[in-house]
């Protein structure tokens, strides 16, 4: 089917955190399941050029694409749902928009003109939206507008949506997500916040075509009709979005509500009869009916905000489902672990992950946790800084280099087992200058990782500045830590593993970014399966507790 690209905008009203990202990803999944090629883009109204310079407490995880964009964590949901890679063009921020408009102004592209929000900023926004359509790869582009309608920051984006709707008519559609709160005192669902937020959109000149209403209770026909009448949408376009036990249920809830059918009809696109969701349903069934349960520790310094490790916890959910296992993640603060209490803090875990991170805080706790995993033969996965800490721990406690460290933490160590490459030493600008994006890695055929990946060459995504120091490689190998994956261009060690341990792997890259529902990441699948084995679980093990995700 050859069609011009259609554009769907997803806006949000009433409050933040209603789950626009999940609704956008669910709609995209349904359209994909009906045979359309879809991508999702996020427009973020903050002035940072990208979230790479933000602390995870501010913004949650920074997600990285194959082409090295540091992006909003919603892009992770898009990839996990669709299994289609995103790119630089899929995340646009106000910082990026203004940067390019100001660059153009300095070049003289607007010579003679006053540069203004309308049309210059809005034109730049529109061109970024159309960029994905122009690739010719997608029949439908879904653009999620960050923030809440009415915020000062979102205004230029909503104005760009108004203009695109006016210019493109039926090729554009606006889905507005709102909250329908339940008042327990009167036992009623209230529609007023939805009405008000649609009024705000109308003040900006945008009439939403579809309303998705987040609610704890079912919406009856009367309420649908009332919302439809007050908000000027068809009753069938008032979609109920009930709270779900897992985000992976949302596409099926949206399918029941016919969100995809309403959207396709409004865009004047055919609604293919077949919708292929068999694999998705099988995954969900496994997720909700686990046969085993394992307790896995995630050691990190941002554990108060679980969004900081979103992709890791989702990768564990995918890997758990494949293994018919509920992965019960224990969030362990690295600052609270030391050599004295580590046994007590980590007792009873069947697997330990040491998380990525930057800086000194909590580093010794991570190193103690790794020592525990190594000595007690608990399956261990170290990710990025977690891998670097595994190298430091091994150098200190096995190779006897007691002051071994990363020069990120101790620049004057006499054993810099983790260090900066010469090329990184010249860099003074912080934003966007780490080793970012996908790099190839060749696996040693004798290694555990080769038996896990079952292929010689892999590509994984990176986000770090420091590297394993190759000067020490020979010593490490002699002592029993193997460099089992190497970047073929620079001979950089990307994976380390222990020979005398049931499952001990550290990776310089971030495997979690590539785990999706249809392609759970082999390292996480292998890790969970090792945890099941160590826990000595038999097929008879029952899981009774309720699942959450």
Q: Which listed residue (144, 257, 408, 512) is catalytic?
A: 512
The three-state DSSP-derived secondary structure of 313-375 is: HHHHHHHHHHCCEEEEEEEEEHHHCCCCCHHHHHCCCCEEEECCCCCCCCHHHHHHHHHHHHH
Residue 27 interacting with ligand GLN (CB under 6 A): no
- Segment near ligand GLN (CB under 6 A), from 11-19, 163-171, 254-262, 351-359? 351-359
Question: Could you tell me where the DSSP H helices lie in 237-309?
Answer: 250-256, 259-266, 278-288
- Shortest Å, Cβ 408 to ligand GLN: 5
> Is 512 noted as a catalytic residue in this protein?
yes
The Cα 379–Cα 32 span in angstroms is: 37
Residue 384 interacting with ligand GLN (CB under 6 A): yes
- Segment near ligand GLN (CB under 6 A), from 126-134, 218-226, 321-329, 457-465? 457-465
Residue 351 near residue 527, CB atoms below 8 Å: yes
The correct pick among 356, 365, 522, 526 for binding ligand GLN (CB under 6 A) is: 356
- For 163, phi and psi rounded to 5 degrees? -65, -40
- Shortest Å, Cβ 465 to ligand GLN: 4
9 or 468, CB closer to ligand GLN? Answer: 468
- Segment near ligand GLN (CB under 6 A), from 228-236, 247-255, 300-308, 462-470? 462-470
Q: Which two tokens stand for residue 145?
A: 């507008």
- Shortest Å, Cβ 407 to ligand GLN: 10
The correct pick among 464, 501, 514, 521 for binding ligand GLN (CB under 6 A) is: 464
If we measure between CA atoms, which residue out of 219, 144, 146 comes closest to residue 181? 219
Radius of gyration, CA atoms only, the chain: 25
> Is 510 noted as a catalytic residue in this protein?
yes
> Is 231 noted as a catalytic residue in this protein?
no
For residues 301 to 340, the per-residue mask of contacts with ligand GLN, x marking binding by CB under 6 A and - elsewhere, is: ----------------------------------------
- Shortest Å, Cβ 356 to ligand GLN: 3
The SS3 call for residue 448 is helix
60 or 356, CB closer to ligand GLN? Answer: 356
Residue 357 interacting with ligand GLN (CB under 6 A): yes
The Cα 230–Cα 234 span in angstroms is: 10
Residue 514 interacting with ligand GLN (CB under 6 A): no
Residue in this structure with the two tokens 């004295």, named with its chain if needed? 340
For residues 59 to 78, the per-residue mask of contacts with ligand GLN, x marking binding by CB under 6 A and - elsewhere, is: --------------------
Query: What single-letter DSSP state applies at residue 497?
Result: E
- Shortest Å, Cβ 368 to ligand GLN: 18
Residues 152-181 that bind ligand GLN (CB under 6 A): none
What are the distances in angstroms from CA 20 to CA 27, 250, 536?
Answer: 10, 11, 41
- Shortest Å, Cβ 310 to ligand GLN: 14
The correct pick among 96, 463, 514, 521 for binding ligand GLN (CB under 6 A) is: 463
Which residues, in sequence order, are bridge partners of residue 64?
Answer: 70
- Shortest Å, Cβ 284 to ligand GLN: 31
Instruction: Rounding to the nearest 10 degrees, give the CA dihedral for residues 53, 58, 59, 61.
Output: 80
The correct pick among 465, 499, 547, 549 for binding ligand GLN (CB under 6 A) is: 465
Residues in the chain: 549
Write out the DSSP string of 457-496: EEEEEEEESEEE-GGGHHHHHHHTEEEEEEETTTTEEEEE
Q: Which listed residue (231, 384, 389, 441) is catalytic?
A: 384
Residue 466 interacting with ligand GLN (CB under 6 A): yes
For residues 392 to 411, the per-residue mask of contacts with ligand GLN, x marking binding by CB under 6 A and - elsewhere, is: ----------------x---
The Cα 497–Cα 378 span in angstroms is: 13
Mind telling me the catalytic residues?
A: 384, 510, 512
Binding interface with ligand GLN (CB under 6 A): 356-358, 384-385, 408, 463-466
């Amino acid at each position: 089917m050859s069609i011009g690209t259609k554009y769907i905008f997803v806006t949000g009203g009433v409050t933040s955190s209603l789950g626009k990202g999940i609704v956008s990803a669910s709609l995209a999944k349904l359209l994909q399941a009906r045979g359309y090629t879809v991508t999702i883009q996020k427009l973020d109204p903050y002035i940072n050029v990208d979230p790479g310079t933000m602390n995870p407490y501010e913004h949650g995880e920074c997600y990285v694409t194959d082409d090295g964009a540091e992006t909003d964590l919603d892009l992770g949901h898009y990839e996990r749902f669709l299994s289609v890679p995103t790119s630089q063009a899929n995340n646009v921020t106000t910082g990026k928009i203004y940067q390019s408009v100001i660059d153009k102004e300095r070049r003289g592209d607007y010579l003679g003109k006053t540069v203004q929000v309308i049309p210059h900023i809005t034109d730049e926004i529109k061109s970024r939206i159309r960029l994905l359509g122009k690739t010719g790869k997608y029949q439908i582009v879904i653009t999620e507008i960050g923030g809440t309608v009415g915020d000062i920051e979102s205004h230029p984006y909503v104005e760009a949506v108004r203009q695109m709707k006016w210019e493109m008519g039926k090729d554009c559609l606006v889905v507005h997500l709102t909250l329908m709160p339940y008042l327990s005192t009167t036992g009623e669902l209230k529609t007023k916040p939805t009405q008000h937020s649609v009024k705000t959109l109308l003040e900006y000149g945008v009439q939403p075509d579809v309303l998705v209403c987040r609610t704890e209770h079912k919406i009856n026909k009367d309420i649908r009709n009332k919302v439809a009448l007050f908000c000027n949408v068809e009753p069938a376009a008032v979609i109920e979005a009930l709270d779900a036990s897992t985000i992976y249920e949302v596409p099926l809830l949206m399918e029941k509500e016919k969100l995809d059918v309403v959207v396709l009809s409004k865009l004047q696109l055919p609604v293919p009869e077949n919708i292929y969701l068999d694999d998705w349903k099988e995954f969900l069934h496994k997720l909700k009916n686990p046969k085993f349960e394992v307790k896995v520790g995630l050691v990190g310094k941002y554990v108060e905000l679980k969004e900081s490790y979103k992709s890791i916890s989702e990768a564990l959910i995918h890997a758990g489902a494949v293994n018919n296992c509920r992965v019960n993640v224990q969030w362990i603060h690295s600052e609270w672990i030391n050599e004295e209490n580590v046994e007590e803090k980590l007792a009873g875990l069947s697997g330990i992950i040491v998380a990525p991170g930057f800086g000194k805080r909590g580093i010794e706790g991570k190193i103690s946790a790794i020592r525990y995993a190594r000595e007690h033969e608990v399956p261990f996965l170290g990710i990025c800084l977690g891998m670097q800490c595994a190298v430091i721990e091994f150098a200190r406690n096995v190779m006897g280099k007691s002051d071994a460290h990363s020069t990120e933490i101790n620049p004057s160590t006499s054993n810099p087992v983790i260090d900066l490459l010469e090329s990184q030493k010249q860099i003074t600008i912080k934003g966007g200058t780490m080793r970012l994006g996908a790099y190839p890695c060749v696996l040693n055929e004798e290694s555990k990782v080769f038996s896990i990946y079952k292929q010689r060459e892999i590509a994984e995504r990176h986000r770090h500045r420091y590297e394993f120091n190759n000067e020490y490689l020979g010593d490490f190998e002699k002592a029993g830590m193997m460099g089992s994956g190497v970047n073929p261009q620079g001979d950089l060690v990307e994976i380390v593993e222990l020979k005398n341990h049931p499952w001990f792997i550290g990776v310089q890259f971030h495997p979690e970014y590539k785990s999706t529902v249809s392609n759970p990441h082999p390292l996480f699948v292998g890790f969970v399966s090792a945890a099941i084995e160590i826990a000595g679980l038999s097929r008879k093990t029952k899981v009774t507790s309720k699942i959450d995700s």
